[in-house]
Amino acid sequence: MVKLRVLIPAAGRGSRAGLPYPKTLYPVDGIPILHRLLAVLSIYDANPTVVVSLEGELLIRDSLHQAGLNAHLVIQPEPRGMGDAVLCFDQSPVAKEAEHILLVWGDLVDLQAKTVCKLVEKHIDHNNDFTFATRSVDLAYTVVKRNENGHVIAVHETREQKLNAPEPGEREIGLFAFRKNIVFKTLVTDHPKKIGFITGEHGFLYVIEFLVSVGAKVEALPIATESDLISFNSFSDIK
């Protein structure tokens, strides 16, 4: 039996959307985004780990308590980037037992259970080190790069590539499954692309290119639906 635990980085402050509370608590159809995610992911982890900010911890804790939902909350003291947020999983009481992590961005509004199930099934059946969901879109803010055989070799962020505007392409959606040890070892190792040139933050997607380069088994699955793509960065995203 694969020991898989769910990790949800949800330390976003909601300031870009003008919210006085973490954006993962924004209600969609009356249900906070984080609650919606926990419902979808409960089949894999009834007590997932959620990364929160210092300011958002109490609000998120109270929201989950009132809804009768369980989660291990770990704090990311400063917004140092997604790679740093993922490493916060080591604070979780379930960190040592986890062999694989199902990582889901905390602002995904309408993640589909079928997509998650397909991802986890393929990750385990194919004995992958790293697996992620993708979809071809008109504006790809992250771009999946494949070789001539169709195998993924990297994922680039448009802003870090200094492109004027996103172009059509295949993008990741914020849904990943991976072996904890190999990814965490990569995240704590110095790498030229570890710190974003534009953001100045510790990124996450660079680990894909590194894992491919050292022969790890990485697979990008074009299984995401239109609903899976919706993430809450501004109100226009969810209208």
Domain total for the chain?
Answer: 1
**pLDDT value of position 1:** 62
H helix and E strand count, the chain: 7, 11
pLDDT digits (tens, 9 = 90+) for 193-222: 999 888 889 999 999 999 999 999 999 999
**pLDDT value of position 144:** 97
CATH number, domain containing residue 162: 3.90.550.10
**pLDDT value of position 17:** 65
The whole-number mean pLDDT for each consecutive block of 10 residues of the chain, a chain of 239 residues, reads 91 73 94 98 97 96 97 95 97 97 97 98 98 96 95 89 74 98 97 87 96 98 97 67
pLDDT digits (tens, 9 = 90+) for 12-30: 776 566 788 999 999 999 9
Please give the single-letter amino acid code of residue 230: I
Structural domain range at position 60:
4-238
Q: Taking the complete model, does pTM exceed 0.85, yes or no?
A: yes
DSSP state of 69: -
Please give the single-letter amino acid code of residue 178: F
Of 55, 102, 42, 50, nearest in space to 71 by CA? 50
Q: Are 64 and 31 contacting, i.e. CB atoms less than 8 angstroms apart? A: no
**pLDDT value of position 19:** 84
